Amino acid sequence: MVPMVDLKKQFQEIKGEVFHVLTEILESSKYILGTKVSEFEKKVANYHGVREAIGVASGTDALHLSIDALGIGEGDEVITTPFTFFATVEAILYTGALPVFVDIEPDTLNIDASQIEANVTKKTKAILPVHLFGCPSDMKKILNIAKKNGLKVIEDCAQSFGAEVNGKKVGSIGDAGCFSFYPSKNLGGYGDGGMIILNSIRVADTIRELRNHGSRGSYIHKRVGLNSRLDEIQAGILLVKLMRIDEYNRKRRQNAALYNNLLLDKVTCPIEKKDICHVYHQYTIISRKRDSIQQKLKKNGISSVIYYPVPLHLQKALKFLGYQKGDFPVAEKAAKEVLSLPMYPELEESVIEEIAEIIRSTV
């Protein structure tokens, strides 16, 4: 069986270092906001060229706390994409704000920046682009719209650690960048975890309070917050992997290039627009024969996943927003045609060639 991601293979390469750092943490007996969290925060901040990095419990919390700390709440609107993981919208709703959807680009599957400004109202307070599958959104257009309308920009980088726009790392471009360290991510822990990066010291201080029950310590609480602290053990593991993230991403890009060479004439492959660096958290093809391809792959013991089968505006949980089928035709078409193939740094060329041959024989 060929999995979507082989975490066992990656672990075998780094287990000596992982066991060493785990032993170090266990012997220190410091498990919450200890030295490994601080070290990891500093290294992530340096990697992205920003002043502040704050470890939190998940990527969802990273989004939620960023939106809250930037002063967005009840009655406000946040413009985002309907083609993303549900957590993007959950985080907006947790604050009392409402998501406003804009359709996606047919090639990148990211939010169509050319449609954003038409959806700005007096209630709009932020734009929340998602760098889907590791492909950066059109940040130049998004920043111009935000500046013109006095809006905040919160980047959902859950799938894009290390991706770049004009040589600048995603997450460092807007007012806040939000990451997930879910195990399958390009930089993944062995459990849940997340991080927020930004340049505003004032907003960072607010986030640090919010992640710790609204307190900076001594049982003094300035506000109502959450229990959302990055675990010390996860930070230790992530430090081991952070040293390798550029190499992991290089190998993902190499694998994507091979997929492209073998499939470009048969299906729609991911693209890289000028001046962006895609890090291929997922390698996602588009084909009208998606279901036939998936069935044939499964028959041959090869995993594949549909990200995402139902766009957010058609999810039952969000029916109260009032959107209808047909409102976002590009996202709806994508939901019927996308298929993500196995993608991880350790994926062998021979396996990619086998997958490509099965797809070519199906379409």
Predicted model pTM: 0.97
Distances from the Cα of 6 to the Cαs of 9, 188, 288, 295, in angstroms? 6, 12, 28, 21
Q: What's the rounded mean pLDDT across residues 16-44?
A: 97
C-alpha torsion 199→201→206→208, nearest 10: 80
Q: What is the distance, to the nearest Å, from the Cα of residue 214 to the centroid of all Cα atoms in its chain?
A: 26
**Do 7-102+111-242 and 245-362 have matching folds?**
no
Q: Is residue 78 a contact partner of residue 98, using CB atoms and an 8 Å limit?
A: yes
Q: What's the rounded mean pLDDT across residues 178-182?
A: 98
* pLDDT exceeds cutoff 90 at 343: yes
Distances from the Cα of 19 to the Cαs of 15, 127, 205, 239, in angstroms? 6, 41, 33, 13
* pLDDT exceeds cutoff 90 at 293: yes
Based on the number of CB atoms within 10 Å of its own CB, is 310 exposed (0-12), middle (13-18) or buried (19 or more)?
Answer: middle
Confidence of residue 217 (pLDDT cuts 50, 70, 90): confident
Q: How far apart are CA 172 and CA 177, in angstroms?
A: 6
* pLDDT exceeds cutoff 90 at 63: yes
Percentage of the chain beyond pLDDT 70 is 100
Confidence of residue 45 (pLDDT cuts 50, 70, 90): very high
* pLDDT exceeds cutoff 90 at 175: yes
Q: How far apart are CA 10 and CA 7, in angstroms?
A: 5
pLDDT at residue 218 in the model: 87
C-alpha R_g of the chain: 20
pLDDT at residue 3 in the model: 97
| Domain 7-102+111-242, classified CATH 3.40.640.10, yes or no | yes
Residue 226 DSSP SS3: coil
* Domain boundary assignment for the chain: 7-102+111-242, 245-362
pLDDT tens track for 309-336: 999 999 999 999 999 999 999 999 999 9
Cβ neighbours, 10 Å, residue 122? 6
Q: Specify the CATH number of the domain 245-362.
A: 3.90.1150.10
Give the relative orientation of helices 245-263 and 232-242 as an angle to the nearest 10 degrees.
60
Distances from the Cα of 325 to the Cαs of 314, 322, 329, in angstroms? 7, 10, 8
* Lowest-pLDDT choice from 62-66, 77-81, 212-216, 314-318: 212-216
